[in-house]
Amino acid sequence: MKKSIVIVVMSGFLFAACGGEAETNNDEGSAGEETTAGAEVCTYAYSPDETILTWTAFKLTERVGVSGTFDEINVVSNDGADDMYAVLTGASFDIPVSSLNSNDEARDPKIKNSFFGVMDSTDRITGSVNSLSATAGEVTISMNGMTKNYSGEVSVEGEEITFSTTLNILDFNGQESIDSLGVVCEAKHTGPDGVNKLWEDVELVIRTTLVKTCE
């Protein structure tokens, strides 16, 4: 069954038995069966309130970072998988450009209209998760009529999963978007050296903390 924006995990258990007399082995075997039958099964659910996508672009020759997020991320993942990575492998995502939030009300419409607005059919950024493990992953991202794959690093701490990667706007034929934004943001993108500069690389970090439920 498919469910929108869900992450599920089943924990693993290790069992061991010691050698001994025949009667002891039989007793311990019975105890082991009881333990297995009564073992807890834990699942982990996605919480939208605990998920953040952060993008960081860079302006000026000195590479000054400008960070923001998207307030809406729609995900369809595999519900009920017994492994956190299997839940997300094959998951699709849809991000409305209108939900972009750079924490600057004057800057947001410029990015939406002069950057994404000059792209071909890019009112939404779409993609999917091709693979995911405890240390690495790969995603597909589509915008401006083009689709590219990006590998990235994964870190896990408790119920928190973080995926990080860097995309290149030029991979999506985005020079026109860079130039267009440079015009409307000329004052902010021009440094003391007189160079109007917006770098083509954008760092992406997606972090989510799962909700644990055991039965």
3-state secondary structure 87-132: HHCCCEEEEEHHHEECCCCCCHHHHHHHHHHHCCCCCEEEEEEEEE
What mean pLDDT do residues 140-144 have?
A: 97
143 pLDDT more than 60: yes
What mean pLDDT do residues 47-64 have?
A: 91
pLDDT value at residue 65: 97
Indicate the average pLDDT of the chain: 83
What mean pLDDT do residues 140-160 have?
A: 94
In the structure, what pLDDT confidence band is assigned to residue 38 with cuts at 50, 70 and 90?
low
Provide the residue ranges of all domains of the chain, joining segments of one domain with +.
2-214
* Least confident span in 36-45, 109-118, 203-212: 36-45
pLDDT value at residue 20: 42
19 pLDDT more than 60: no
53 pLDDT more than 50: yes
In the structure, what pLDDT confidence band is assigned to residue 160 with cuts at 50, 70 and 90?
confident
Nearest to 126 by CA among 169, 97, 153: 97
Place of tokens 């492998």: 89
Nearest to 209 by CA among 7, 1, 2, 63: 7
Residues 182, 196: contact at Cβ < 8 Å?
Answer: yes
- Report how far apart, in Å, the C-alpha atoms of 26 and of each of 2, 19, 22, 142, 205 are: 44, 10, 6, 59, 52
Distance from C-alpha of 184 to C-alpha of 168, rounded to nearest angstrom:
21
What mean pLDDT do residues 143-149 have?
A: 97
* Least confident span in 13-17, 116-120, 158-162: 13-17
Multiple choice CATH, 2-214, 3.55.30.10, 2.40.128.110, 2.60.40.10, 3.40.640.10? 2.40.128.110
- Report how far apart, in Å, the C-alpha atoms of 56 and of each of 59, 79, 168, 171, 192 are: 10, 31, 12, 17, 22
82 pLDDT more than 80: no
Distance from C-alpha of 171 to C-alpha of 167, rounded to nearest angstrom:
8
Q: Which residues of 117-141 are buried (b: 16+ CB within 10 A; e: fewer)?
A: bbbeebebbebbbeebeeeebbbeb
Round the CA-based radius of gyration of the chain to a whole number and report it: 23
33 is written with which tokens? 């069966």
Residues 122, 144: contact at Cβ < 8 Å?
Answer: yes
What mean pLDDT do residues 101-123 have?
A: 96
